[in-house]
Amino acid sequence: MVPVAVDSCCGSPEPLPIDDGVDLAPWWRDRALALPAASGALVAIGLVLEWRGVGVASVVIFSLALVAGARTFVPSTLKRLFTAKGRGRMGVGLLMTIAAIGAVLLGHVGEAAALAFLFSIAEALEDRAMDRARLGLRSLLSLIPETARVHRFGEEQSVSAVDVRASDILVVGAGERVATDGVVSRGRSWLDTSAITGESIPVEVGPGDEVIAGSVNGSGTLRIEATADGKDNSLTQIVRLVEQAHANKGERARLADSIARPLVPLVLVAATLIAAFGFAVGDPGTWIERALVVLVAASPCALAIAVPVTVISAIGSASKLGVVIKSGAAFERLGTIRKVAFDKTGTLTRNQPEVVETHCASGYDESQVLSLAAALEANSTHPLAQAIITSANERLEAVEVQESPGLGITGRVEGRSVRVGSPRWIDAQGLSESVASLAEQGMSVIVVEVAHRAIGVIGIRDELRPEAAEAIAHINAQGISTMMLTGDNTRTAKAIAHRAGVDEVHAEQLPADKTNHIRHSAAQVPTVMIGDGINDAPALATATVGIAMGVTGSAAAVESADVAFTGHDLRLIPDALAHARRGRSIMTGNIALALAIVAVLFPLALFGVLGLTSVVLVHELAEVVIILNGIRAARPPRHSGRQVPTESLASPLSLEASPR
């Protein structure tokens, strides 16, 4: 694949097909990087030859470098010049083209080649980042099974998932994915919807309950009446949301572009008027030369490197701490953030359900209750089973075990009849107040019954990450507000948000709901979204900046995000925000200096105070100052000596099961 080159101030390339069967080539084999790399190598060789006094050879090499670099943007710039409308014709590409031509006409081929190299490599890297984000959309569709079992005409048939039609009856067995949205018509089970809704606890479903495409069925068999075609369901809508968000981002001009737009016509008009004045006064030679000197004086040399040198320095230092920022534009936006939105499961929480509390009836202790429950759960497929098994100190054997999908499990342990399951299935009797208390704290509640007597209730919860409250406190200390978006139930969400110190919480959110909240927030203040699941992909793409936690989390989340953290230490977030603000401040200072140089040199060149040699010398000195200032951004984010965790979640699907 050859990425489409585009001057970002003037437009964005057309979206790539979601499933074009082509992967992004490694950078060393990317054809779009070949010409900029060749240009850079030739510039280096030319400088060496010039330093050794081999004049003719250095000019030839510089010329080749100029051609290689200019080939990536000059043709598209010229095409846009004659086909686009209004200011859409003008951008950094046109400025660079004019500056290069002016430098060549004045005999400074080396400077023209350096300008061409800098701009071509910046454009190629930006295009590559956008291509990578688009190709990542394909991973979203992997949640839809290739085939589905459909009950048609009195018999069961296997059809392609895309051929499923609304009103078809789907037959979904244990462990199978649901091919499209629908309503359960027969059967009971639990569904893991974490990949779609972000709800950390699989939910019980039965006749009349709605189910979502891509959900994973538990241990029961379900018959589901499809309410959407296989080509048009909640999962395909996620893809469209991400596509739309990326397209909108591609239209945003970079900071340097927005400054360059009014600069281009001013320089062109000024140079033309200067040359025309020369003809009017009868001295065209002198004034044409001054016009060309003005072009060089107003060339975007310093402006072209003002942003990249800062961004490269800052992004490089951040990456050493596990903060991977994918583009300069993302870094610029990260420095403006005033609100942080979190996904809950796997981001604020550990994504490892644990037994938090156990309440016992008289005559029983915690160890006995957990051991009896673990004996049965050792034979269960329910997601909460492992949490109970892990917490038990004693391993007992259970026989005659039978699981009731969506309800609980029964069996005999040491000759006694034991049931473990939902409070809706097992009467908690004298422990009803404990059930209500645990549920109020956002826990999933399991009741343990022996010989028809409730002997204990177990509270299970996906616990808050230990550093979460500290990280959010540091974020708030920077004057940045916080919000949590989750597919979990309201009670659980509020409990977690209160313990973490989050300002605002929205629970029971589908991907489209999360996206709408982020879109509304981003319209008010610059907003960052932080998540790690496929269900977070549209919100990550819609936010001012999207941050994916954990590089081995959902591929769709990582690719849809602008920033990726290699670990899950939430304390990196306030550090990264402060680092980006500092870098953006340095970047703004560099741009101001670059524009000041143009503002000072322009009149001096116009009135002949400075000749070409002086103008070039000032430009070079300004570039050195800008580079040194930009390197200051390489100072790593303040991290208080903490080690960056390199572990990531083994699976992007979070499990925190609802009561059976």
Q: Which residues have a catalytic role annotated? A: 343
Q: Please count the other Cβ atoms lying within 10 Å of the Cβ belonging to residue 38.
A: 18
Read off the tokens for 38: 């060749």
Per-residue DSSP letter, 177: B
- For residues 94 and 82, is the Cβ–Cβ distance under 8 A? no
Helix (H) / strand (E) containing 356: strand 349-360
Distance of alpha carbon 606 from alpha carbon 290, whole angstroms: 6
The phi, psi pair for 506, rounded to 5°, reads -130, 120
Percent composition of the chain: helix, strand, coil (DSSP 3-state, to 5): 50, 20, 30
Helix intervals (H) in 382-423: 385-391
Angle between helices 255-280 and 572-606 (to 10 degrees): 0
User: Which residue, among 197, 173, 186, has the nearest Cα to 224 in the 3D structure?
Assistant: 186
The phi, psi pair for 245, rounded to 5°, reads -65, -45
Distance of alpha carbon 297 from alpha carbon 18, whole angstroms: 46
Distance of alpha carbon 560 from alpha carbon 543, whole angstroms: 10
Distance of alpha carbon 318 from alpha carbon 291, whole angstroms: 43
Distance of alpha carbon 572 from alpha carbon 306, whole angstroms: 27
CB within 8 A of 621, min separation 6: which ones?
none
**Which CA distances in Å does 16 have to 24, 76, 122, 232?**
12, 19, 21, 19
Per-residue DSSP letter, 355: E
Per-residue DSSP letter, 651: -
Helix (H) / strand (E) containing 441: none
- For residues 337 and 528, is the Cβ–Cβ distance under 8 A? yes
Burial 144-163 (b: 16+ CB within 10 A, else e): bbeebbbeeeeeeeebebbe
- For residues 441 and 457, is the Cβ–Cβ distance under 8 A? no
Burial 91-123 (b: 16+ CB within 10 A, else e): bbbbbbbbbbebbbebebbbbbbbbbbbbbbbb
Read off the tokens for 24: 């992004």
- For residues 341 and 518, is the Cβ–Cβ distance under 8 A? yes
